[in-house]
Structure 1
Amino acid sequence: MQIFHIATAADWAEARRTGAYTTSTRGVTLDQEGFIHAARREQVRPVWERYYADAAEPLVLLTVDTDELTSRWQEDAVGDDTYPHVYGPINTSAVVRAQPLDRRGSTGSFTSVFVQEMGVRAGLAIAAMMLAGLGAAIGGRTPSAWGEFVGGVVGLLIGLGLIGLVLRRRR
């Protein structure tokens, strides 16, 4: 059987380094909670919406093969439903897939997430260059020999400031 766990990319990277995943849920360790929260496939989206939609860090969806787990797991009642819980570390060899989650909680390939992010950043870089050109054009109308240069630098700084604001807001 396969169960699923939403993890931060940093927690998953640490687990790959050590061989064991020990984060129960966002900001809570296995030692603190006593088990690792997991979900069936149909529960992943509601869990993401409830607990991870505002996450500022990159997330991954771990697909865990329960037959490969070295720790005990079971379905436990939670309200009117049941959820799988893993009562010990998740050995990384039991994770058969790690997929990035986008800002809408959907899985995609690392390539598609990378291409999308690079498209946003390229668009922002083009906008910064256009502002630098506009600044140079405006500065070129001044009688100073440095007008174009100063205008270009000012335009570029404004563009870079806008890039910083946009990227910070996207987190």
Structure 2
Amino acid sequence: MPSKPDAAAFDGFVADHGGTFLRFAYVLCGDYHLAEDLVQEALVRVHPRWPKVRQQQPSAYVRKTILRQYLSWRRRRASAEVPDLPDADANQDRRPDHADRLADRDALRIALAGLPPRQRAVLVLRFYEDLDDDEIAELIGCSTTTVRSHASRGLARLRGDAHVVPIA
């Protein structure tokens, strides 16, 4: 159990970075409540190791813990639940407005939810966290070639879906 100064440092770290970790977890899993659970479980696992973790790169360590929790949760999951995409809007002549952007973002979130866990994790780490292939490979524990393969297959699958706005 960390000492009082370490506990205060951990509390401050969580207060400063908790929102960032929650957003990262949400983009990974697409479910706000599950994202909260992933972050909480990751922080519970980091807390006893905090004196050692804080001397390294604590944000990267917590992100990696969240990622591992997410991938582990997906492996344990009993059902292969994939949400349906809503029907495309028949009127394409309108100028995009705020609601259209939100609908596109929601369609992308749903399409990401349909990807296998590692493909989704690679795309989130690449486009949301802006990590390069080497960093992603280190986080996931695979080769850079495998990262590129997951990214290529995930993007191809997203592009094949007519309801999804291109990422680039």
Same fold (TM over 0.5): no
**TM-score bracket relative to the smaller structure:** under 0.3
What TM-score comes out, normalization by structure 1 length? 0.25
- Between structure 1 and structure 2, the one with the greater Rg is 1
More helix by share: 2
